[in-house]
Amino acid sequence: MNTSGKVIKCKAAVLWGLNQPFSIEEVEVAPPKAYEVRVKILVTGICRTDNNATIGVMPAKFPVIAGHEAVGIVESIGEGVTTVKPGDKVIPLCVPQCGTCFACIDPNSNFCEKIDITGRGVLSDGTSRFTCKGKPIYHFMNTSTFTEYTVVEECALAKIDAAAPPEKACLFGCAFTTGYGAAINTGKVTPGSTCAVFGLGGVGLSVIIGCKAAGASRIIGVDINSRKFEKAKAVGATECVNPKDHTKPISEVLKEMTGNSVKFTFEVTGNLDTMVDALASCHMNCGISVVVGDPPPSTTLAFDPMLVFTGRTWKGCIFGGWKTRNDLPKLVSDFMAKKFSLDQLITHVFPFNKIKDGFELLNKGESIRTILTF
C-alpha cells in the first residue's frame, strides 16, 4: 500500500509524563513536511540516555516518544529532500549535520545547531508530527525511534550500506559511535599508551574498542558492577577494577597499578564524582581525560583546580566528535569490512512490545544493549 502523503497509524511507546512507564499506543504519524523524511524503523536499541529522559536526567518534553539508536528504511520524503529516497537504509542522527552552521563548517566540531539537547521536542517549524488520542506527542533528540514510523529532518539522517544488518548497525546510532569516537577523535589515544575507562556499559565498551584499535597496550576497565568485567575483557580491557573493592581513592589505586602512567581516562557513567575521579586518575601533567557521560542538567561540579594547573587536559565530546552524515556511512563500511566487531555489545534481542523488560534489564545492570525489533 502506498502510504506517501497520508497519515500513518502505527504502534509507538509513549511516555505520558516523568517517571511514567512506557505505554504502547496507537499513534498517528503525519507525512513529512519540506526537508523532512518519514522513516519506517526496523530496530532500535535501548540506551541509558533514554532511561535518563524518563527520570528527568535528560531534558525532554512530555508526552514524548523517546529512542535514538536505530536503523530504518525511508518510507517517504518531503519537498526539497535530495539526499535520500524511499527505500534507502538510514540511521536517524541524534547529532544532525546541517552543513551550514558554525560547527558544521569548522573541521574540528560536530555540535550542529540543529541538535536538540535541551529537549525542544519539535521539528524546525516548531511543531510535532506525532499525535495520540488527539494530543500532540513531542519528538526526542531529533530522532524518536520507539515507534514503527518516525519523522526526522533530512539533516538528521545518514544513508548507510543497504546490506548492513539492522540489529547491529543500529549501534552506530549511539553506543559504538559515541564511545569509539571518544577514544579515536577526542582522546586521540596513542599506540602503547595506558588508558582507563570508567563505566562499562555499551558506550564504555565502545571506548575500549577504540582504545584497542588505536594501539593502547594497557586498558583498565573501572566499574562498580563487577559483572561487567567479563565483557570488558572480551572487547579488549587488559584488566578491570571495582572501586568498591578498595578503601583508597580509585585514582590512587590506578596510580599504584600502573606506576603513575595512565595517559588517557574516559568518564562513561554520567556521574559528577566519577568525572573528577577520572580527571584525577590520568597523569598529572601529560594526562588527557575525556567526559563522555552526559551530566545531569543544571548541575555544577566542584574540583581542585590543582588537577588542571599541573597540566592535565580535560575535554569532552558529544557523539564521539563525528561529523555524523559524512562519517557514519564510513564507519558502517568499516564494520562491513570486518575492521571491528559489535557482537559483544548486544546482549538481548526482544520484540518491540517487550520494551519495559529491556529497560528493567538495563536498570538491574544485567544488559549491555537490548535491541528491539519491529
Q: Which residues bind ligand COD (CB under 6 A)?
A: 47-49, 68, 94, 174, 178, 198-204, 222-225, 228, 243, 268-271, 274, 292-294, 318-319, 365
With CB under 5 to 8 Å by kind, the binding choice for 202 among Zn ion, ligand COD, none is: ligand COD
What is the rounded distance in angstroms from the CA atom of residue 139 to the CA atom of residue 309?
42
Phi-psi region of 19 (alpha: psi -120 to 50; beta: other; left: phi over 0): left
Given the C-alpha cell 529537549, which residue does it identify?
119
Which residues make Cβ contacts (< 8 Å) with residue 84, sequence separation at least 6?
A: 37, 74, 77, 90, 154, 157, 159
CB 57 within 8 A of CB 169: no
Residue 49 engages Zn ion in binding (rule: CB under 5 A): yes
User: What separation in angstroms does the CA of 237 have from each of 4, 359, 361, 368?
Assistant: 48, 26, 23, 16
CA terminus-to-terminus distance, the chain? 18
Residue 202 CB-half CA count within 13 A: 29
Residues 163-182, mask of contacts with Zn ion (x by CB under 5 A):
-----------x--------
Q: Which residue is nearest to ligand COD (CB)?
A: 201
Q: What is the residue type of 237?
A: A
Residue 240 engages Zn ion in binding (rule: CB under 5 A): no
Helix then strand then coil, in percent of the chain rounded to 5, is: 30, 25, 45
Residue 367 engages Zn ion in binding (rule: CB under 5 A): no
Closer Cβ to Zn ion, 211 or 362, answer by number: 362
Closer Cβ to ligand COD, 26 or 113, answer by number: 113
Closer Cβ to Zn ion, 47 or 278, answer by number: 47
Closer Cβ to ligand COD, 147 or 274, answer by number: 274
Q: DSSP label at 118?
A: S
Residue 214 engages Zn ion in binding (rule: CB under 5 A): no
With CB under 5 to 8 Å by kind, the binding choice for 86 among Zn ion, ligand COD, none is: none
Closer Cβ to ligand COD, 104 or 292, answer by number: 292
With CB under 5 to 8 Å by kind, the binding choice for 274 among Zn ion, ligand COD, none is: ligand COD
Looking at 27, 43, 47, 60, which residue binds Zn ion (CB under 5 A)? Answer: 47
Residue 60 engages Zn ion in binding (rule: CB under 5 A): no
Closer Cβ to Zn ion, 136 or 296, answer by number: 296
Q: Which residues bind Zn ion (CB under 5 A)?
A: 47, 49, 174
